[in-house]
Structure 1
Amino acid sequence: MKKFDAIIIGAGQSGMPLAKKISAKGLSVALIEKRAIGGTCINDGCSPTKTMAAAARIAHLVGRAGDFGVEVASYAVNQKTVKKRKDYIVDLFRGGASKSLEKSEKITVIMGKAIFQSSKTVLVKREGQADMEVGADKIFINTGSSPRIPEIKGLLHSPFLNSSSIMELEETPEHLLVLGGGYIGLEFGQMFRRFGSKVTVMDMASRLVPTEDTDVCEEISSIFKEEQIDTKFNIKVKKVSHSNGKITLSYDDKSGEGSISGSHLLVATGRKPSSEEMGLENIAVARTDSGHIVVDENFETSAPGIYALGDVAGSPPFTHMAYHDAYLAFNRIYEKNTSQSTKDRLVPYCVFIDPQLARIGLNEQQAKEKGISYTTGKFWMKHAGRALETDETRGFFKVLVDPESKQILGATNLSMDGGEIMAVLQMAMVGKVPYDQIQHLPIAHPTLAESLNNLMGQVKNTDE
């Protein structure tokens, strides 16, 4: 057995930065990865999906070039080239991640599947090589998550796609059925509609993105309708069948039984923590009913000396939050700095539909659930100078404000570059800048951020 100061299982967006931080202290680290360096973000998530979404946006803009006075006789989407560009970006980012790890002599990367033998030892099963046993007093789990596949009759016997395999397509689906109206389903649904597919999105919920406010859902629904993306709600799929190149979903809804057929099926029904088949039962690491590893404020599990970070530990399922977990864990465990924790930290996120859906802090339904007093402001993009100039007028800015302290409680941006503007509001929240100071702040003209003046001016008037 080879001994290290620390073992990290999973070279994702918590595992890699944590390995670098620990090794920088002169400590030895074994970084175990069973699939590919970079985790979901680089290989299956952020990098490849946003690369493909960029291609879909170009197709969308070419399709409406005439609105800007640019005459385009015709165009076609080459799905093979879209995939090739996506693969290039993934290889580029993965290669960069690998090279950054190689710079440290204290980090040993081991490719293989990790299985706990005890609370201090891990067996690594390596393909084509002998098993390897490693030990350490501190072991960190950063195994992320994987697509959740629902139990539906016939599904496993049908050629369905998940959020990873759909990006390997070299043809544009004739009719893409999307099972799941969450963020993943929305991104891929709009993407492939812009590539030229007919798209139908189906969900068990009564509306899209139910965690967002109703007005946000209504505007996204309007945008999807405009782009001819069909949506069906209150759908309970009972059976999936496959015949003659068609996939058929049989379902129940409010009107009774129904069915729909398409050329391809994307199952986008969420993700599950990757906490199985690693021997956690051997060391009594507690997990929730959903499979997330239970941790305390120091990311320590029920087994002393074993820690978990990122998606597998139930942190908000975003790359930037996994990266922040590594920052907090290192400070709390190795630097003994407990001034910051996961408690009450702001969680920004952006859904890369077009226009982008970005949020920071509370929305209205959360504020109501918590009994928090608030007032709102809303500013529609159809009134924003920059949006009008670029003909990107769909969506709105929305802010929640504490009426007494004038502090921003949260914001939702459904707009062009909504994620970039969200970061401005996030910094205002961290810096405790009152909303009325932003209202009268001279912001460069003509920029989208300038519309924050107008948004804050609407705080006590939410009419259009």
Structure 2
Amino acid sequence: MEKFDAIIIGAGQSGMPLAKKISQKGLSVALIEKRAIGGTCINDGCSPTKTMVHSAKVAHLVSRAEDFGIRIENYKVSQKGIKSRKNHIVEQFRGGAEKGLKKSENIKIIMGNAQFKDNHVLSINTNEEEFEIYGSKIFINTGSEPRIPEIKGLINSPFLTSSSIMDLNETPEHLIILGGGYIGLEFAQMFSRFGSEVTIIDKSERLVPKEDKDVCEEICAIFNEEGISTIFNAGVTEVTFHDNSFTLSYKNSEKEEKLSGTHLLIATGRIPSTKNLGLENAGIKITSSGHVKVNNYFETNISNVYALGDVAGSPPFTHIAYHDAYLAFQHIYEKTSHSKEDRLVPYCIFIDPQLGRIGLNEAEAIEKGIKYKTGKFLMKHAGRALEVDETKGFFKVLVDPETKQIIGATILSVDGGEILAVLQMAMLGHITYDTIATLPIAHPTLSESLNNLMMQIKK
């Protein structure tokens, strides 16, 4: 049986950097991946979706070219061309990731399925052979996968997931999206801009329920303007597929309704990928939500087994998975411990305009009984936004009335994620809002609007 100092199950955004860091200490590493190097981010998530989001942005700009004094006639959207561009970017990123791993010493890449035999031994099935390997330490980084709800008739229909929808060769005539979360919103706007009729159906009362009400209202206004339909408080009871058409039966306000479309995307969230790992063979505990149970240092209840990223219940973002690897490595191999609870967690949703958030919003501050003052600056008053005709959305910030420190921000604007990083650094650097209000920021930039934002906070 081949023995390794560390075995990592899953070559995602925790697994790859962790493998490199451990190998650089002269330790042997087995990196096991059942599907494709790079995990969800490179293959099904960030890289392909944001590539397609930008294609949709270009289509949208072309459709309104006359707003900028440019006339373009008879343009067409090629779904095959969009798919080809997406595949090229994915292959480029995946190839770079594979090349980087193969350059590293002491790393053995094994393509296959892994299952625990006990807390040190894994059984590996490569479809060609089956064998066992031993690991002094084992790290679980298997990520997550789309959650498919139990709805009558759904499993027997040719529904789409967030992965398979990106491989369409045709633009859907009418795309129904079950689920109004962040993934659903990105695909809704994307395919609307490609030319599809789009309907979002969700059991919640509104879009983005985790965000403040004014954020929801602004996003709804943007989507409505682009012709995206929404149905709320709707519980889907049955899905049928006949003559290349889906029909969803749902209850809305105690009434039975039906909705038909040519394509159906299931975007009802994701679940941790723990199936067939054999966690029970090693005595590894999971939470009620199915995540591998870990403490603040990614340790499971088994002393030599760790879990990172989505499968461990970390916030489901690539940058957090990558940071998990850093924190785990520091704790285990450098004996410098920083709790995962101590970090600020930023995120950005790539609708247009982008939605970025960090820290508390108003609803959370009220729930926690935290005193705050708020400032809000509309993008329709921002010089740079007016120049590029991207005036939808706003900047919003929460500050501590006594310390003047920023405690949270929501940025709904063109390139909102870039602005969010500025505020994240301000929060980490303890820069007060009144300092930012009078800071000379380069003109004309979007960041310059941070001056105006902070000036909106009442003294």
C-alpha distance in 2 between matches for 1:278 and 1:172: 37
Corresponding residue number in structure 1 for 2:109:
109
Q: 1:8 corresponds to which residue?
A: 8
Per the TM alignment, residue 400 of structure 1 is displaced from its structure 2 partner at its CA by: 0.3
Quote the offset at 1:132 in angstroms: 2.1
Stretch of structure 1 that moved more, 111-120 or 249-258: 249-258
Structure 1 match to 2:267:
268
1:288-318 superposed Cα distances (whole Å, 9 cap, x missing partner): 1211011012211011100000000000000
Residue number in structure 1 paired with 2:354 = 356
What is the alpha-carbon distance in structure 2 between the residues aligned to residue 388 and residue 37 of structure 1? 42
Identify the residue that residue 23 of structure 1 maps to in structure 2. 23
Q: Which amino acid aligns with 1:428?
A: A
* Aligned residue identity for 1:18: L
> 1:227 aligned to 2:239?
no
SS in 2 for 1:154: coil
Letter of the aligned partner of 1:320 in structure 2?
A: H
- Measure, in 2, the Cα distance between the counterparts of 1:149 and 1:277: 17
Q: Aligned ranges for residues 144-155 of structure 1 at < 5 Å?
A: 144-155=143-154
Instruction: Give the aligned partner of residue 448 of structure 1.
Output: 446
Q: Secondary structure of the residue that 1:357 maps to in structure 2?
A: strand
SS at match of 1:157: coil
Q: Give the equivalent residue in structure 1 for 2:81.
A: 81
In structure 1, which of residues 406, 409, 412 is the aligned counterpart of residue 410 of structure 2?
412
* CA deviation map 1:8-39 (0-9, x unaligned): 00000000000000000000000000000000
- Please give the alpha-carbon distance, in whole angstroms, between the structure 1 residues aligned to 2:253 and 2:81: 42
2:356 pairs with 1:369: no
CA distance in 1, matches of 2:129, 2:415: 50
Alignment correspondent of 2:155: 156
CA distance in 1, matches of 2:455, 2:365: 21
Counterpart for residue 422 of structure 1:
420
For residues 455 and 37 of structure 1, the distance between their equivalents in structure 2, rounded to whole angstroms, comes to 42
Indicate the residue corresponding to 1:42 in structure 2. Answer: 42
Alignment of 1:57 with 2:57, yes or no, is yes
Structure 2 CA distance for aligned equivalents of residues 72 and 130 of structure 1: 57
Partner of 2:381: 383
TM-superposed CA distance for 1:2, in Å, is: 0.3
- Aligned partners of 2:359 and 2:34: how far apart in 1? 35
Question: 1: CA distance between counterparts of 2:361 and 2:183?
Answer: 20
Give unmatched runs, 5+ long, in structure 1: none
1:216-274 per-residue CA deviation (whole Å, 9 max, x = no partner) reads 00000000000000011001000000111100000001151100100000000000000
Letter in 2 for 1:186: L
Distance 1:38 1:73 in 2: 40
- Checking the alignment, whether the CA contact within 8 Å between 2:396 and 2:453 is kept in structure 1 is yes
Q: Secondary structure at the match of 1:189?
A: helix
Distance 1:405 1:444 in 2: 27
Equivalent AA in structure 2 for residue 408 of structure 1: I
* Inter-partner Cα distance in structure 1 for 2:270 and 2:254: 30
Task: Report 1:51-450 matches (<5 A).
Answer: 51-127=51-127, 129-254=128-253, 256-338=255-337, 340-450=338-448
Q: How many residues align?
A: 459
Is the deviation greater in 372-381 or in 130-139? Answer: 130-139
Q: For structure 2, which runs of at least 5 residues remain unmatched after alignment?
A: none
* Greater Cα shift, 285-294 or 377-386: 285-294
Give distance in 2, aligned partners of 1:439 and 1:189: 37
1:37-96 CA-to-partner distances (Å, cap 9, x unmatched) read 000000000000000000000000000000011011121100000000000000000000
Is the contact between residue 24 and residue 105 of structure 2 (CA under 8 Å) also seen in structure 1? Answer: no
Q: Which amino acid aligns with 1:38?
A: G
Partner in structure 1 of residue 456 of structure 2: 458
Among all aligned residue pairs of Structure 1 and Structure 2, give the percentage whose two residues are the same amino acid. Answer: 67
The secondary structure found in structure 1 opposite 2:341 is: coil
CA separation in 2, counterparts of 1:297 and 1:155?
38
Tell me the SS of whatever aligns to 1:4: strand
Structure 2: distance between partners of 1:298 and 1:120: 20
CA RMSD of superposed structures (Å)? 0.7
After TM superposition, give the deviation of residue 344 of structure 1 in Å: 3.1
Distance in 2 (CA, whole Å) between partners of 1:255 and 1:283 is 47
Shift of 1:345: 1.1
C-alpha displacement at 1:276, in angstroms? 1.6
SS of the aligned residue for 2:199 comes to strand
Aligned equivalents of 2:27, 2:117: Cα separation in 1: 23
Q: 1-side partners of 2:359 and 2:120: how far apart?
A: 39
- SS of the aligned residue for 1:325 comes to helix
Matched AA of 1:215: D
Q: TM-score, normalised by structure 2?
A: 0.99
Cα deviation, 1:318-355, whole Å, max 9, x if unaligned, reads 000000000000000000001x2211310000000000
Amino acid at match of 1:253: N
Secondary structure of the residue that 1:88 maps to in structure 2?
Answer: helix
Distance 2:367 2:25 in 1: 45
